[in-house]
């Protein structure tokens, strides 16, 4: 089984109201001093391990770039476990 993790965050240049809300909430709970917070998505995909590793990697890249992340306002990282 191959496990891929796609970590998606708003680009630094984009205002992140969710992140600001979390930062303020932490301050209310006495956990001040957090300068910046960005809130995004973490998506884990499990794919059978059969097939050509290069083809699997390219399919996962397509899924991350074209379906899961919005390249206009988001950036993403793709981490793959179990692929030779």
Question: Count of CB atoms within 10 A of residue 71's CB?
Answer: 10
Nearest approach, Cβ of residue 43 and a second copy (Å): 5
Tokens read off for 11: 């680009």
Nearest approach, Cβ of residue 9 and a second copy (Å): 6
Question: Count of CB atoms within 10 A of residue 11's CB?
Answer: 13
- Residues of this chain that interact with a second copy (CB under 8 A) are 1, 5, 7-9, 19, 22, 25-26, 29, 31, 33-48, 59, 62-63, 67-68
Please tell me the distance from the alpha carbon of residue 41 to that of residue 29, in angstroms, as a whole number: 24
Q: CB-wise, 28 or 84, nearer to a second copy?
A: 28
């Amino acid at each position: 089984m191959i496990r891929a993790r796609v970590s998606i965050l708003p680009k630094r240049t984009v205002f992140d109201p969710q992140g600001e809300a979390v930062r303020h909430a932490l301050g209310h709970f006495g956990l001040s001093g957090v300068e910046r917070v960005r809130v995004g998505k973490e998506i884990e995909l499990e794919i059978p391990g059969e097939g050509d590793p290069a083809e699997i990697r390219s399919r996962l890249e397509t899924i991350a770039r074209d379906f899961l992340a919005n390249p206009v306002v988001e950036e993403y990282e793709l981490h793959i476990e179990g692929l030779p």
